[in-house]
Structure 1
């Protein structure tokens, strides 16, 4: 298991400050990872505070159990944050929800998990290896059009059709089972077109998102968080690519009570206001980006649930 001390939490202070933690509040960290954000939240809680920890990765939950199980203020659950509303611990309502999206550094760094093309390993990519189909399962059973659609939609890969065609041609000879094999296929298909960026970057991102159902889970998780947050409760979300950030941005906007529409059509009646954005999108400082290269694409958005009387 990766050493949790080697994991550097992204935008730690900004994300936790966004929660406006109160000593006696109840908070949920839906993406425990290796606990960087959780430790910071817990350090601000008093004896009456409550911290709920979730993660879909069994290794992350093992770390949480080892470090926090003895703390009476902490409850731990193995599961996707999209199911938070199904957990009885969230029934009293939450004063804050923190989500640090995407793949964690320990998952990337452990070659056997199959998330990275930097080392040859089984082509898995599941955040929860105990369920669902692996990336290899998907690539070896999906038709060419579905593979191309996944690469285009989730990876914004311009050469998605060409890559999909080569994948299908290769698997007809023998199944694709290794990260190194897939990375080599992509490089053969499109070459090294972007300096400083491996040609398989978008393909691996797309497959990871598809295999883990990340965007669908995010939408369900945001809905669940809004349902469980108390009035005045905060939602603090760190995204790492435009697809995630767009979902978060539109979710906050769509629940802000603002009139939607375009200049070419009549305005659309606004839904009742349930959220208000706290400040603008935040980005890592230059110093953090220098110290932690994986923080460079991070975007933090914070919103607060409005009191009932504040609804339109």
Structure 2
């Protein structure tokens, strides 16, 4: 009996010492600042923060679990936007609110984690260092913790810094894809034949045969674009910065046929498992290509295709398949903006 009393006294003294040390030597909350620089323009960086659908796509906090479910609430961008999230597997959940916005300068977030009624406050400041470089500053105020829970403050800042480091890598990749696409669009030269080395690709799509009468072919292309895009974005959960431009692969000279066979798909970074037999992967090898950009009605592309084929003949070369890469997504009743890429060989 004395042994149990002795042990109880020891435990009581240890808990008292722990509580006293937490009370006198550990802060009840943490305040810290983190600064980072990214080599992208201010407006593009800011939009990745004030649009919560963008924010959750690269912020590592929301990417640590594959089973997390996020609900977005209107407005999806700017002051007043918010989300709730829940991950049953990892017992993780909470809400985040964007409370204040000064465009391209400052944002203020409130993060309520799990059942905590006191939020973590995060002020994020943006500063343009050069037209192509932005400084981001996080000012973090964590909620006050009860005495016995203050030990968490020993690793709070470390966890936050580690999360931002990983998030910055993701953000760089996202912005890299977006800026690269913008630069490509700005550099387009229409109706000029260029030589280009095409990198290998893995394209997920569908094999199709369609009538070539009037505008029936283009309507069929639009339908299959929607089919493939919905599968890639909804069933596979791929985001815009994870996929390539919609691509149609066909015989270069079948524009003269009454019926056209083609493969229509969207490039992915790697092959993934698919459960729908309507879709398949097509591997495209690296090739040397003659390239021409065309903008106008879909039927008007034929002249550009003929120019590419004539160029091949003039250069005494052979050609393979023709890729029609939709720089802008195909929409029924609208002109197309496409890159015609014809594989060539000696």
Please identify the structure whose Cα radius of gyration is greater.
Answer: 2
Per the TM superposition, whether the score is higher than 0.5 is: no
**Structure with more of its chain in helix, by fraction:** 1
**Structure with more of its chain in strand, by fraction:** 2
TM range (shorter): under 0.3
- Provide the TM-score with structure 1 as the length reference: 0.23
Q: Which has the higher contact order (CA 8 A, sep 6+)?
A: 1
